[in-house]
């Protein structure tokens, strides 16, 4: 799943062990790119930086997409095993979410290119939603298989209105929003039960706890994008995002001494999501508290993305990435 990477000598077919989880890198970089874009819209800051990050994000996206397609071509049996794995199956939707996020990043730069990515992302997200739920129904899963990454293939549906809001009909987008909200509630109950009443998450899964921030934050952004009103429901969604953010900050001791895993990228996108939600809350309400939160979260997000990216490159150079788990 989170292909943890201990030092080993691996033959030249390293691509065989390239994990689908690597699309989380695209998610983190896309989130930070959108943060810079939103600050540019409101304060005319980071305009050059936002464009530079957008193209960096695109290069990383193309590279990771190329490597995973190469894995499909060269080691199709390994991909089939991942697709039938009770934990790894949930990370395939990170690829569809990456298409949607890069489409959001590039809409101000190249709208036609953005729309192509958006339609591909919607089609992939639709497939992964049905496939994953069918997989859950047909397989004998255990509670130990569950972790916050389960949010990715289902709650990722709320990203469709964020990417397509203003271009596709709200009745169509509400279909995806409804799926995301419903399964967010259902999976939250399942995961809270698993975390409290069963064995603790393994260390490499601990960063995925930050995914709890993403569903309410993204749902808030999607709701605003569709209906353009900061009403009581929007406020409810935003404040739930704040709660999970503050809760995980309060639990900082659980994260500061973690050994490096590719799952560290799970820290990045949820932090970017609550940052973007805070900026949007300020834009809609002009309440200064929200922009204070946005500035604090932005600095934290920049710091976390920088650290995680540095550690990832460090481990790539040590050839500790893409090895057998």
pLDDT value at residue 151: 93
Q: Is 243 helix (H, G, I), strand (E, B) or coil?
A: helix
Residue-level pLDDT at 323: 58
Phi-psi region of 235 (alpha: psi -120 to 50; beta: other; left: phi over 0): alpha
What integer pLDDT is reported at residue 13 of this predicted model? 60
pTM for the whole structure = 0.92
SS (H, E, C) 169-225: CHHHHHHHHHHHHHHHHHHHHHHHHHHHHCCCCCHHHHHHHHHHHHHHHHHHHHHHH
Q: How far apart are the first and last CA of the chain?
A: 8
The structural domains of the chain, ordered by start, are 14-317 (1.50.10.150)
Residue ranges of the chain with per-residue pLDDT less than 50: 1-12
**What is the reported pLDDT for 325?**
58
Beta bridge pairs of residue 55: none
Residue 17 is predicted with a pLDDT of: 77
Helix extents (H) in the chain:
23-43, 47-74, 76-83, 93-106, 111-138, 151-155, 159-164, 170-197, 214-227, 232-250, 268-285, 288-317
Please identify which residue in the block is written with the tokens 């952004």: 221
Helices 47-74 & 23-43 angle (0-180, nearest 10): 160
On the CB side of 219, CA atoms within 13 Å amount to: 28
């Amino acid at each position: 799943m989170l292909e943890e990477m201990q030092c080993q000598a691996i033959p030249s077919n390293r691509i065989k062990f390239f994990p689908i989880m690597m699309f989380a890198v695209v998610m983190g970089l896309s989130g930070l790119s959108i943060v810079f874009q939103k600050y540019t819209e409101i304060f005319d800051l980071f305009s050059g930086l936002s464009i530079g990050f957008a193209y960096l994000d695109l290069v990383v996206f193309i590279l990771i997409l190329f490597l995973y397609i190469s894995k499909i071509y060269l080691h199709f049996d390994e991909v089939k095993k991942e697709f039938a794995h009770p934990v790894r199956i949930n990370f395939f939707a990170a690829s569809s979410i990456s298409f949607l996020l890069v489409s959001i990043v590039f809409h101000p730069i190249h709208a036609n290119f953005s729309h192509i990515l958006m339609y591909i992302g919607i089609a992939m997200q639709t497939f992964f939603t049905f496939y994953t739920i069918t997989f859950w129904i047909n397989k004998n899963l255990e509670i130990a298989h569950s972790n916050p990454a389960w949010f990715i293939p289902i709650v990722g549906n709320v990203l469709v209105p964020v990417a397509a809001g203003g271009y596709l009909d709200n009745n169509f987008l509400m279909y995806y929003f409804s799926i995301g909200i419903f399964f967010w509630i259902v999976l939250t109950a399942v995961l809270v039960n698993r975390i409290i009443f069963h064995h603790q998450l393994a260390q490499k899964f601990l960063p995925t706890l930050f995914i709890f921030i993403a569903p309410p934050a993204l749902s808030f952004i999607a709701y605003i994008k569709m209906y353009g009103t900061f009403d009581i429901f929007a406020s409810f969604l935003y404040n739930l995002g704040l709660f999970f953010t503050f809760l995980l900050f309060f639990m900082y001791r659980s994260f500061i001494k973690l050994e490096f895993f590719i799952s560290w990228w799970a820290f990045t996108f949820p932090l970017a999501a609550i940052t973007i939600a805070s900026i949007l809350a300020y834009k809609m309400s002009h309440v200064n508290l929200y922009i204070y939160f946005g500035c604090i979260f932005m600095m934290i997000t920049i710091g976390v993305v920088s650290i995680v990216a540095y550690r990832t490159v460090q481990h790539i150079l040590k050839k500790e990435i893409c090895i057998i788990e």
